[in-house]
Amino acid sequence: MAIEHDFFGLIDETASGGLAWDDTVELGDQSIDVELLADDEGRVPEFALDSAAALIQALEGFDARARDALVAELSSRQSATVGYIDEHVEMLGDSLVDLLVHNSGDIAIDVLRSLQLLTVVIQADHSDEDEVFATFDYSIAPDESDALLTVSFDVRGDVVAVETSGD
């Protein structure tokens, strides 16, 4: 059975008894793919759908918080953010400059400012405070690399993890 919500409208049920909804949201000059998923419809409380709707409506603010978390990671050489930047500086070489939106001379900050937010995935059935509720996937060069820098939020909107994935 599908669920109806004021913001999402009718949220489709998957064949396995979960939920799936997706849309494209504009953020500045970017189109962001947003997905709402749940493996188990029965574990999706109304407040989780309301939290998901609030997150989507405040996407710009959450993007800023995610980027702040990435900047905070620059102080640790072992962080996922520093590893991602180092990998792309090496892989892209001089062509990295062509991808930068800002060129202040601080390559790490310039890369973080130039990251593209590609997708936001909200796990509506992960509404406990110790679970990942939403992930924001970023890339500096989505056409050249599958590597992503992912910032995860809990249902309260706090950043809980920064990780890399892909090649």
Q: Which two tokens stand for residue 155?
A: 């249902």
- Pairwise CA distance, residues 60 & 58, whole Å: 6
According to the model, what pLDDT value does residue 109 have? 93
What order do you get walking across the sheet with 159-165 strand by strand? 3-5, 9-13, 19-27, 30-38, 116-123, 134-139, 148-153, 159-165
pLDDT in tens, 84-103: 999 998 988 888 888 888 78
pLDDT tens, residue order, the chain (167 aa): 678 899 999 998 888 889 999 999 999 889 999 999 999 988 899 999 999 999 999 999 999 999 999 999 999 999 999 999 999 989 888 888 888 887 888 899 999 999 999 999 999 999 888 899 999 999 998 988 899 999 999 999 999 999 999 86
pTM for the model stands at 0.94
Residue linked to tokens 């996937």: 137
**What is the dihedral sign for C-alpha 87, 90, 92, 96?**
positive
Residue linked to tokens 């706090």: 158
C-alpha dihedral (139, 22, 37, 63), degrees to nearest 10: 40
Cα 33 → chain centroid: 10
According to the model, what pLDDT value does residue 140 have? 93
